Amino acid sequence: MNRWWSHSIHQVSIALSSLGIFLLVSGVMIGWFAPWAGESISFLHIFRTPLSAPGNKIDINAFLGADITALAVIIAVLIGYNASTLQIAGQLLSPVIVRAILLSLAPFLICWSVTTFVALAYFLIPPTLIAQLVQLLLWFAAVVLFMIGYLWNLPWRLSGEHVALWAIRELRNIPINKWESADGYMAVQTGVATAVARADLGTVRSITMAVGSFLASTQDRCGEAANHFDRERYRSLKNLLSGCAQNAASAPNAVAYNLGFIAAGVLLQAVAVGCAYENGRDLFSGLFLTLHSTPERLDPLWTGLRHGLCRKGAHGDPYLLKFWSNHRMWTTDDLRRVQLIAEMLARFHLRCWRELVFNREKNAATADRNSEITPSQHPAISNLEEVNNEAIGMLADLYRDIARYLMQEIVNSSPGNDNSALLNLPQRLLDTIHSLVMQMWPVNEAEEARHSVIKVYDDWRAQMKTSKVKGESQ
């Protein structure tokens, strides 16, 4: 569901609910306030017209009976419709989302309850003024509008976009180390995992785009200030990604691509709060374990990761641009600005390369997946030309995205954002990633691949310098 359509649904629903509130207030004014005020204000005297006036032939009992019956039918139809719809929603999304949707019924239920109560009261104590019957007509119309507004908005509330926004609203208000106990955390995992299982790519895309952007831009002040490893924060980020990746191995490549956006957000958030790779800890082990038997999903995963970090698209500005803009106050020598991001990306690429080789050699079961990797342990020792070419292509794509797209977005960013401090960061990131990749490269193996990567790096670095000069001159 695109944003324009979601916005239109909201506007219509809000308009219907606002009109319903207006009718409720009008009913109170016409039925109760105006007759009382008509005793002293002459132009309001019309609201004191009695039902017993000559010419008034209204059967009050029939009127009230029809009103109460119609109200009973409305609530019965709505409850019956909700019972089946929300039962399915609970299975496909999350029970906590169903609870949130039911809470949105509160305005309708309150309006219906008050209208029914007053109609029953008038049935027992008959009204004396026509204005009071007009009041019931207005309140009945308000009930209908609230019902239509709820039903109109219900498809959006059952969408992946709503699940993501609802979850983000909760997660934003609590520290990362408490995320795992939050309903929103479970709703995201359940929403993505079940959507993947039923190949609902629209829901997967909506949730992953929103959650990835949130992770890249949110700031846990306490965690960032501490800037040291915290197991609870680490587990929250790791399990969020691992939970969303369930069933991804058997899903289309588009699912792996969209999971790359969450992986990009997790990467940046982990760097910010001190949970970057260290001492064998690997944030992405659960993700790679899920995709271990399907190496063809690794390239789409890598593509989603670099698109989220470096390109502008449906997810908004590049995650790296958001990340750097939100952390301008960090000192220039803070490792979280470039160094740790580069290490995470280099290790992520290395892990993809390693998985490709292990799957080709059929020896993944005996590999130590989380051990420190040295050049002598690098997967390219088998010198599989096809795998090496895939790894070169993935690395070249990252270099291109940093040099062309990320750099251009920073150059094009508004001057009011004081982007001069950001112009050096893409080049530093590119240089650092390349340096780390060369350090991890296997000794005396894949030399041809090494030279290809160096050439790609030199070409894109030269182009980046040109873009940087243009940016500084603006």
Cα(160)–Cα(188) distance, rounded to whole angstroms?
9
Amino acid type, 290: T
User: What pLDDT does 384 receive?
Assistant: 63
Cα(425)–Cα(307) distance, rounded to whole angstroms?
17
Query: Tokens representing 98?
Result: 């169903």
Query: Residue 229: which residues within 8 A CB-CB, separation 6 or more?
Result: 274, 275, 278, 281
**Which residue has 């002459």 as its token pair?**
42
User: What pLDDT does 337 receive?
Assistant: 92
Cα(415)–Cα(423) distance, rounded to whole angstroms?
12
Burial class, 268, CB count within 10 angstroms (exposed 0-12 / middle 13-18 / buried 19+): buried
Which residue in 191, 232, 233 sits closest to 209, CA to CA? Answer: 191
Cα(25)–Cα(109) distance, rounded to whole angstroms?
16
Cα(114)–Cα(205) distance, rounded to whole angstroms?
42
End-to-end CA distance of the chain: 38
Helix axis angle for 201-217 and 253-272, nearest 10°, is: 10
Query: Residue 83: which residues within 8 A CB-CB, separation 6 or more?
Result: none
Helix count (H) and strand count (E) of the chain?
20, 0
User: What pLDDT does 421 receive?
Assistant: 74
Does residue 273 contact residue 265 with C-beta atoms inside 8 Å?
no
User: What pLDDT does 373 receive?
Assistant: 46
Burial class, 388, CB count within 10 angstroms (exposed 0-12 / middle 13-18 / buried 19+): buried
Does residue 269 contact residue 333 with C-beta atoms inside 8 Å?
no
DSSP 178: G
- Tens of pLDDT along the chain (474 residues) come to 455 455 677 788 888 988 999 999 998 888 888 887 777 776 677 777 777 655 556 678 888 888 899 999 999 888 888 877 777 777 666 777 787 788 888 889 999 999 999 999 988 888 878 888 888 999 999 999 999 988 888 888 888 888 888 889 989 989 998 999 998 898 899 889 888 988 889 889 999 999 999 999 988 888 787 778 888 999 999 999 999 998 898 899 999 999 999 999 999 999 998 887 666 678 898 999 999 888 889 999 999 999 999 999 888 899 999 999 998 888 888 899 999 999 999 999 988 888 887 766 544 344 344 445 444 445 444 446 777 788 889 999 999 999 999 998 888 875 555 566 788 899 999 999 999 988 887 665 567 778 888 888 998 888 887 766 555 555
Which residue in 295, 287, 240 sits closest to 266, CA to CA? Answer: 240
Does residue 135 contact residue 35 with C-beta atoms inside 8 Å?
no
Does residue 189 contact residue 176 with C-beta atoms inside 8 Å?
no
Q: Where are the domains of the chain?
A: 3-157, 160-473
180 C-beta neighbours (distance < 10 Å), count: 15
Cα(273)–Cα(221) distance, rounded to whole angstroms?
9
Does residue 282 contact residue 373 with C-beta atoms inside 8 Å?
no
Cα(79)–Cα(201) distance, rounded to whole angstroms?
30
HEC assignment per residue over 310-373? HCCECCECCHHHHHHHHCCCCCCCCCCCCHHHHHHHHHHHHHHHHHHHHHHHCCHHHCCCCCCC
What is each CA distance from 223 to 123, 324, 411, in whole angstroms?
62, 17, 30
**Which residue has 């419709």 as its token pair?**
81
Beta strands in 187-258 (DSSP E): none
